[in-house]
Structure 1
Amino acid sequence: MPGSIAVIVPTFNAEAFVERAISSAQGQDHVAEIIAVDDASTDRTCDVVEALAKDDTRIRLIRNAANGGPSVARNAGIDAARSDWIAILDADDAYGPDRFGPLLRRADRDEADIVSDNLTYYDLPHDEILGPAVHPEPAVQQVTLEKLFRSTPTGGRDYVTLKPVFRRDFLNKNRLRYDASIRNGEDFDILAKALLAGGKFVASLARATYLYTTRESGTSKTLLDYDPVIAQSEKWLRHPAFRSDEELRRLAEERIDILRRRQLDRRTGEGGIAKRVGTLALALRSQAGREWLGDWFRARLQPNPS
């Protein structure tokens, strides 16, 4: 079916909100498949999905035997899909009305392999739209590798958080899947690989129909571990695109430094004295770590204002 969409919904202990996510996909045009991939939930998530599937043959449930993380769940859904396009919908998020028609028309017009609208942050308890991830001017933008690496959570240019729709043939032709070793940062990773593979990514930013439910709403959280994404980021530096482009290499190195600092911040808040001493020793091994260590000591040497 031309222009058909497979919506992949990774789930883990999502019984409280998965019905909201799936219902928002059911009301969309072009959706031929809704594939919920349960990552070994211990609550009633699967019961909720199976009840919905009784009334809608588009809904399928895949059960992972063991918890493998969001990348593993997404890949299982992509492998099972048969539609022209792949869309990811996290179980604690939702779509606004009429998401896919405008996106597919934009993809056809611009011959894009990857297409997205804007993402808006949404406060579920207060039913309040908090604002878009990317400033919608210009309204249509091609997201390049450099633009992706310049993404920032501030300033209205957080391209990493956009939830794009991928041509399934493009993913399969280039053997693109989410990195199973990464439990946070997997969206950045697959987008970077897609752009390195020559994919054309067009963002139509005037409309924001992906509702990213803020974590303050009590929805699911992912344990942050930066080591795998740092290791993957370091591999990019060996790619010809980064070796031949000084600015891209600088941006990649800057991203790695930021990730290293975040990992050190996280580790100093964990465990006992021995683990913290080990973290401080680790910081000495890189320039970013040494800079972080200086900031860490300066913060603790400042007099207490009280």
Structure 2
Amino acid sequence: MVRTFWLQPAEIIDVHPDISVIIAAYNAESTISRAIRSALEQDGVSVEIIVVDDKSSDNTVDVVRSFSQTNIRVLQLDVNGGPARARNVAIDAARGRWIAVLDADDEMFPGRLLALTSRAESTGAMLVVDNIEVIDNRDGNTYQMFPAARLKQVEKLTLPIFIASNLVFSSTFNYGYMKPVFSREFVLRHGLRYSENLRIGEDYLFFASMLASGGECVVEPTTGYSYHVNDGSISRTLKFHHVASMIEADAVFLARFELDLEAKAAQARRTRNLEEVQNFLSLVEYIKCGSVRNIIRMALVDPMAFRFLHMPVAVRIKRLMPNFMSRNPFPKHGRTKQHSRV
């Protein structure tokens, strides 16, 4: 069940805003005000702000209700369903011609939405993206995620380019971080929704589905979105079951959409990448529990998984090896078949 709260009587709300800014929020009391203010301060366009609270246990809802503006709605979920579920609820409630995704701990520059929608409307595109300012709150550094010159060269994101950029633990420019502004009518017409089985990677799959449905995506090379990096990293938060869900979701994607040869080739590389990451995450668990036998098995089954290792982990493997060798796990006449698989 979804409970909806208007901050002011509904009859005074603009029922035809230019843009619906959708914010999925979970325990975001410390950052949600910044995100909302950045949406309220957009120049040259009318906006509605839809905050979907994903069963927060903190004061997120109270913070949102503290705003007096009439163009803010709060939708509360009775059960925590993850960001994909929250964004689907927001899309269903949206009334703007365009929808802009904003994370609860991020913010937008004041002229961003006007620049993006103007770009899309002038080209007839259904999606538009821009560059991202990365603010690393751990060390105070700020930088652009993509070189502006590179985005000027790209001009449009095609499905093969987008898929090829989305490889986990890769130095490739990952366009999956981009926060698109997209046509609400286009998404509704094609029945597109976020995959609610995903807790990580849901943005990528939704973006890919829009492109696979024929949506043209143009690139605005200027920077308009601020992405905040806090404590924690993908290497500590990404779990085996997350990657398994991504592989399953990709299979559903492939069953739904017919890809051209270039997109199929890019998808094959992505699938292989996800399989390697799965094996790498298993390898990390083997290292943590000191299972040298399984480390050796992984080396035989998928040696490419080892290329994701960083020095601290590699050092730990070396420390394990003397103890491992002293136990003489292999028979004198070579390895048995059981060592060829995990």
Q: Give 5+ residue unaligned stretches, structure 2.
A: 1-14, 320-342
SS of the aligned residue for 2:231 comes to helix
Residue equivalent to 2:263: 248
Residue equivalent to 2:302: 290
Q: Distance in 2 between matches of 1:37 and 1:268?
A: 37
Q: Distance in 1 between matches of 2:84 and 2:62?
A: 23
Distance change in 2, residues 1:151/1:134 (3 Å)? farther
SS of the aligned residue for 2:165 comes to coil
Question: Could you report, residue by residue, the CA deviation over 1:184-237 in whole angstroms, capped at 9, with x for unpaired residues?
Answer: 1111101111111110110111x111001013389xx96641111111223444
Q: Is the 8 A contact 2:98 2:183 kept in 1?
A: yes
Correspondent of 2:175 among 150, 159, 165: 159
Task: Say if 2:113 is the partner of 1:73.
Answer: no
CA positional deviation for 1:76: 0.7
Q: Distance in 1 between matches of 2:19 and 2:137?
A: 26
Residue equivalent to 1:33: 48
RMSD, matched Cα:
3.4
Q: Distance in 2 between matches of 1:167 and 1:293?
A: 39
Distance change in 2, residues 1:239/1:217 (3 Å)? closer
Task: Say if 2:110 is the partner of 1:93.
Answer: no
Residue equivalent to 1:19: 33
Residue equivalent to 1:192: 208
Q: Is the 8 A contact 1:134 1:159 kept in 2?
A: no
Residue identity in the other structure for 1:90: D
Q: Distance in 1 between matches of 2:245 and 2:296?
A: 20
Residue identity in the other structure for 2:174: D
Higher-Rg member (1/2): 2
1:75-154 aligned within 5 A:
75-124=88-137, 128-133=141-146, 135-137=148-150, 139=152, 141-151=155-165, 154=171
Q: Is the 8 A contact 1:264 1:279 kept in 2?
A: no
Q: Is the 8 A contact 1:3 1:104 kept in 2?
A: no
Distance change in 2, residues 1:253/1:65 (3 Å)? same
Residue equivalent to 1:234: 251
SS of the aligned residue for 1:227 comes to helix
Aligned residue pairs, count = 293
Task: Say if 2:66 is the partner of 1:51.
Answer: yes
Question: Could you report, residue by residue, the CA deviation over 1:139-167 in whole angstroms, capped at 9, with x for unpaired residues?
Answer: 26111011102215635x32211111010
Distance change in 2, residues 1:213/1:91 (3 Å)? same
Q: Give 5+ residue unaligned stretches, structure 1.
A: none
Distance change in 2, residues 1:46/1:170 (3 Å)? same
Structure with the largest fraction of helix: 2
Distance change in 2, residues 1:301/1:107 (3 Å)? closer
Correspondent of 1:180 among 196, 202, 212: 196
Identity of aligned residues (%): 32
Q: Distance in 2 between matches of 1:88 and 1:232?
A: 21
SS of the aligned residue for 1:121 comes to strand
Residue identity in the other structure for 2:251: E
Give the TM-score normalised by structure 2: 0.75
Q: Distance in 1 between matches of 2:97 and 2:296?
A: 49
Residue identity in the other structure for 2:229: T
